[in-house]
Chains A and B, each alone.
Chain A
Amino acid sequence: VLVLVRSPLPRLRVLLQRCWGRLERGLWPGIFGGQGLPWGPALAVQGPALVPQGISDAGAPNLPESVVWMAAPKQRRTIEVNRCRRRNPNKLIEIKRNIDVCPECGNLKQKHVLCGYCYAKVKEETRLIRMEIYKKEGGPFNAPTVETVVLYEGEKPTEKDEGKRIIERARKRPSWFVQN
């Protein structure tokens, strides 16, 4: 399990690394990397240093070559960059231009959607009609095979309503419920 420890003084650590590097180059001039004082014909060997490196050790070379490197952010995104991304016009909410006034009740409605207030009105009336039906039927699975007609106060069944089931509602007929 890789444990990330964030040291509070990264700059100090880098400074120490640099100082150590310079010290190494000063103490062992010939061994560390290139040439120190002109000693004579010397081999310019590019390879791992023979002096044990103290701080700049990495655990990465121990992993096998088939490991998959995951993408990770290299630098912290500044608040300015973050703001530019979050406040870009494509992220802001667009104003809707499809809002109209319902001609029936005067509330706002979207052009392609039913008016919320009128729909709620109809829903409530339907609920009351369904309650009447439930009272008449008495239980589940008692739906008759004939059609249903809803009659309000002061209405008589016409000749077209012969043989249909009649549901009575004790109120005046609402203006939006048109009678056949």
Chain B
Amino acid sequence: SGAAWARGLLNWARPERWLPPGNLFPLSCIHTSTSLQKIGKWEKKNRIVYPPQLPGEPRRPAEIYHCRREIKYSKDKMWYLAKLIKGMSIDQALAQLEFSDKKGAKVIKEVLLEAQEMAVRKHNVEFKSNLHIAESQTGRGRYVKRLRCHGKGMFGMMKISRCHYFVKLVEGPPPPPEPPRTGFDQAKEYVQQLRNRTLVHTL
């Protein structure tokens, strides 16, 4: 029972749960990384390890999750840039961001370059151009309220907004864009819905 207890403890304290990857002492339960700041969910997505693939299965494309927290920019304004590069290949995205006039474009470009380098070094990606952006999202960071002085002694409270930016790169060429829905498709779906109707609680 002592051996079973030890095995259970080791499974509970497995390295990918708490410690960053590439640790020298995977069997120890001591935190060697900075555990005071909470590690976000997006950063933890890089730590999942899939079981080895069977010989017949198609190759699973590599996924790289990267994010930057507390960027001094508005999340709504950042969303436009995130929407621009959704679904593009990484080269096209970098080209578009380089010539965009927005402040967030510079930040997103740095994040993409970091993620690309991470992919080549750690995630076994062969060609750094063979990546496309599967997901790109923005989130709200911590807001801070400050005083804004107007004339005649009046004041208002302004909020200094910050945002997070999340990106998921996937290996492979970008997926082809969906064809726009035509009236014919909508009519077909409607007819299918009518055909799916059935009688309930009857013989």
Do chains A and B interact in one complex?
yes
Interface on A for B, CB 8 Å cutoff? 86-87, 91-93, 95-96, 99, 108, 110
A92 touches B80 (CB 8 A): yes
Q: Are A93 and B80 in contact (CB under 8 A)?
A: yes
A129 to chain B, nearest CB (A): 29
Is residue B189 contacting chain A, with contact meaning CB distance below 8 A?
A: no
Q: Is B99 an interface residue (CB 8 A)?
A: yes
Contact A86 B96 (CB under 8 A): no
Residues of B near A99 (CB, < 8 A) are: 95-96, 98-99
Please report the C-alpha to C-alpha distance between residue A99 and residue B99 in the assembled complex, in whole angstroms: 8
Interchain residue pairs with CB less than 8 A apart (5): A91-B80, A95-B96, A96-B96, A99-B96, A108-B95
The verdict on B117 contacting chain A, using a C-beta distance below 8 Å, is: no
In B60-93, the 8 Å CB interface with A consists of: 76, 80-81, 83-84
Provide the main secondary structure of the chain B interface. Answer: helix
Task: Check A95–B99 contact: CB distance below 8 A.
Answer: no
Name which of A86, A92, A93 has the most chain B CB atoms within 10 A of its CB: A93
Interface size class, chain B: 10 to 19
Kindly provide the distance from the CB of B90 to the nearest chain A CB, expressed in whole angstroms: 13
List B contacts of A108 (CB < 8 A).
95, 98-99
Contact of A93 among B76, B81, B95, B98 (CB under 8 A): B81
Instruction: Identify the B interface with A (CB < 8 A).
Output: 76, 80-81, 83-84, 95-96, 98-100, 102
Bound Cα distance A108, B98 (Å): 9
The residues of B that contact A93 with a CB separation of less than 8 Å are 80-81, 83-84, 100, 102
Contact B98 A95 (CB under 8 A): no
B142 to chain A, nearest CB (A): 22
Closest B-chain residue to A113, C-beta based? B99
- Kindly state the separation between the CA atoms of A95 and B93 in the bound complex, as whole angstroms: 10
A95–B96 CA distance with the chains assembled, in angstroms? 7
Q: How far is the CA of A87 from the CA of B80 in the complex (A)?
A: 9
CB-defined contacts of A86 to chain B, threshold 8 Å: 76
* Cα–Cα distance between A96 and B94 once the two chains are bound (Å): 12
Within the complex, what minimum Cβ distance (angstroms) separates B76 from chain A?
7
Is the Cβ of B84 less than 8 Å from the Cβ of A95?
Answer: yes
CB distance from A44 to the nearest CB of B (A): 52
Please indicate the chain B residues that have their CB under 8 angstroms from the CB of A110 in the complex. Answer: 99
| A91 and B79 alpha carbons, distance in the complex (Å) | 12
**Distance, CA A92 to CA B76, complexed state (A):** 12
- Assembled-state Cα–Cα distance A95/B84 (Å): 7
